[in-house]
Amino acid sequence: MTKKNSKSEVKLRDDAAYRDLGVKLSGSASDGHEIGLSHEDALKRIFATDCDLQASAFLSHCLKVLKGDEAGNAGEANDERAFMLSIVQDLAPRDPVERMLAVQMAATHVATIRSARLLACSETIPQVQAHYTGYNKLTRTFAAQVEALRKHRTGGKQTVTVQHVNVEDGGQAIVGHVETGGRGKDEK
């Protein structure tokens, strides 16, 4: 049995993230980040690039957007660094545009959750209005980023199937998906 928010639970999550990503993040935003790699190509694998410079820059971009308490200052339980890297890795970017978009999407998600937290803690109407506006803009931005990624991956192509049906005089046509064969639930 694991206690909620216990140090052993956090340690297990940290070790699992390290194994999956090949990157162990320690230190903090205020004291400096320490990056441990299980193999020298770990960052290049996460960001799907052969360029060391790009991999290092993208890691830096992921760290820059986090507040201090999201980047190690408040302890491991609130640390968003490994989460951001895991999202980029899961999106499996295929080219430079997708790499940049994946980092932006991870940052937008973290900012959206941050904004939702601020909205939940709002105590005055002006605070609620300000945080609701920010939250709404971030969720719309994220949806636009998802759509941009989809369009980029598919070349912007959309598939539309058009079928022609000829109906003779006295005939009837059914518009929609029709399955034939088998019996209905009530038939025996």
With respect to residue 165, please indicate whether it lies within any of the assigned structural domains.
Answer: no
CA 86 to chain CA centroid, Å, is: 9
How deeply is 69 buried, as exposed, middle or buried, from its count of CB atoms within 10 A (0-12, 13-18, 19+)? middle
Gap between the Cα atoms of 37 and 45, Å rounded: 11
CA neighbor of 58 nearest in space, from 18, 17, 23: 23
| Residue 94 belongs to domain spanning | 7-154
The reported pLDDT for the residue numbered 123 is 96
Tokens of 139: 């969720």
With respect to residue 116, please indicate whether it lies within any of the assigned structural domains.
Answer: yes
Gap between the Cα atoms of 80 and 65, Å rounded: 10
With respect to residue 55, please indicate whether it lies within any of the assigned structural domains.
Answer: yes
Q: Of 4-8, 107-111, 180-184, which gets the smallest average pLDDT?
A: 4-8
With respect to residue 182, please indicate whether it lies within any of the assigned structural domains.
Answer: no
The reported pLDDT for the residue numbered 11 is 45
With respect to residue 173, please indicate whether it lies within any of the assigned structural domains.
Answer: no
- Contact indicator for 71, 79 with CB cutoff of 8 Å: yes
With respect to residue 169, please indicate whether it lies within any of the assigned structural domains.
Answer: no
Residue type (1 letter), 153? R
Element spanning 138, H or E:
helix 125-154
With respect to residue 186, please indicate whether it lies within any of the assigned structural domains.
Answer: no
How confident is the prediction for the chain on average, in pLDDT?
85
For residue 162, pLDDT over 80 is answered with no
With respect to residue 161, please indicate whether it lies within any of the assigned structural domains.
Answer: no
The reported pLDDT for the residue numbered 19 is 66
Q: What angle do CA 139, 91, 111 make, to 5 degrees?
A: 30
The reported pLDDT for the residue numbered 130 is 97
- Count of domains for the chain: 1
Q: Is this model's pTM higher than 0.75 or not?
A: no
Number of C-beta neighbours around residue 128 at 10 A: 14
